[in-house]
Amino acid sequence: MPDLDTRARAILARNDRGGYTVPTAGLYPYQWNWDSVFAAMGFAEHDLPRAWAEIETLFSGQWANGMVPHILFHKVDPSYFPGPDVWGGTGPLPSSGISQPPIAATFIRALYERDRPAGEAHVRALVPKLCDWHRWFFDWRGEDGAICVSHPWETGRDNTPDWDAPFAAIQPEGIDDYARRDTSHVAEDERPRSYDYDRYLYLVKIGRESRWDEAHIKSASPFRVADPTMTFTLLRANRDLLALCQAMGEPNCEIESWITALAAGSEHLWNPDIGSYDCLDIRTGRHSGVISNASHLAWYAGVGGDRMLGHYDRIMGAVRFGMPSTDPGHHAYEPRRYWRGPVWAMMNWLIAIGLAEAGHAARAEALRRNTADVIATGGFAEYFDPRDGSPAGGRDFTWTAATWLAWASPTTKGITCPASS
């Protein structure tokens, strides 16, 4: 499908701001953390130096405590709310005060596999930064080896039903009046509700007022939830970071201990009542009871064997386009509302990497084809309706274009999977 390849490359070029890429103009006019990693993989198909630059710009925003922010506000743009003043980030660049799923080490390894030996200087410079970032997760987000978030935006799954119970316990008091900008770009019923936004801003306020004092946030915030996106991507990222260290001739036993802790911690996310991985609310000790697309990242993390296989086959069999972000059998499923149902192409890519490595090559390939079909049907949208593949959310989206180029397109040269450890 060369036409789609051309369109995808054009989207990357249009969203390129010079050294970094915005997810889409208007709705998301800044640099987002995991979006940039996917963007780098799209660039890697035709421009390896540009791929490295994307990642290096992301790490230029790393805080002194190791945290790599979820948004870097390189150039102020009023089309987005909440901007840099609302966040009051304390890093070297204007930024948000929270992080995002740490997929970078995994894809840096994949880039290096593609760019040996020239990429070595990049890897040598990035490895210590990755170690500092991963250590930050242990210091401030770890609960017995499961990785928590202090804000839903940190997981990248902003309004999944996983947050419904923890949010019900929050009274968002004392937030300033605000005007959302997202609903001027995208239909309201494809975005989070105002109820959620009030709580998002309340949690930002707690962080900002403490000047992002992690010790304070950890003890005082009403929101602390262990999450499969974070736990599974960090576990996987540590395996790849260890492989990078070994390739540089620098074995690292701290990373080995992280891998052991995370593998054990993943067990805390297993909910026997539904037979699935889900979120665990640290404040109440309750599981969310939601089978999400993040639950299916267990293979990507290399945990759980085939525990998720029954749900995987059931859910993929229930929709025309998978993997829906929420199980269609769940009462909170909404097929067009953001992370409460729609299909996200880049999540499918991560799930397929895990499936292929676990020996489910046919399922991985079927998911790739299904994702190619949804993009051919709905274009390079932010996300898609699982029932008919119609586009939803933002359009001309960087990570959908990148996922097409690096994985879903039949012409991809790319890294179908990063090499497994």
Write out the catalytic residue numbers: 158, 382
Nearer to ligand GLC, 153 or 404 (CB): 153
Query: Comparing C-alpha atoms, which of 208, 246, 204 is closest to residue 223?
Result: 204
Count the residues in the chain.
421
Report in angstroms how near the CB of residue 421 gets to ligand GLC at its nearest: 26
Pairing of strands 286-287, 280-281: antiparallel
Nearer to ligand GLC, 22 or 263 (CB): 22
Contact criterion met (CB below 8 Å) for 325 and 339: yes
The residue whose Cβ lies closest to ligand GLC is: 156
**DSSP element (H, E) containing 148:** strand 146-149
Taken in order 260, 212, 382, 104, the sign of the CA dihedral is: negative
Nearer to ligand GLC, 393 or 418 (CB): 393
Structure tokens at 123: 């890897």
Nearer to ligand GLC, 35 or 240 (CB): 35
Q: What is the DSSP letter of 418?
A: P
**CA–CA separation, 264 and 260 (whole Å):** 6
Cα-based angle 316, 305, 320 (whole degrees, multiple of 5): 5
Q: Which residues bind ligand GLC (CB under 6 A)?
A: 23, 28, 32, 34-35, 153, 156, 158
Query: Comparing C-alpha atoms, which of 297, 284, 264, 240 is closest to residue 142?
Result: 264
**CA–CA separation, 398 and 8 (whole Å):** 8
Report in angstroms how near the CB of residue 345 gets to ligand GLC at its nearest: 12
Nearer to ligand GLC, 62 or 400 (CB): 400
Report in angstroms how near the CB of residue 344 gets to ligand GLC at its nearest: 8
Report in angstroms how near the CB of residue 93 gets to ligand GLC at its nearest: 17
Contact criterion met (CB below 8 Å) for 403 and 43: no
Q: What is the CA radius of gyration of the chain?
A: 19
Nearer to ligand GLC, 153 or 407 (CB): 153
Matching residue, tokens 């421009």? 47
Report in angstroms how near the CB of residue 401 gets to ligand GLC at its nearest: 12
Report in angstroms how near the CB of residue 15 gets to ligand GLC at its nearest: 11
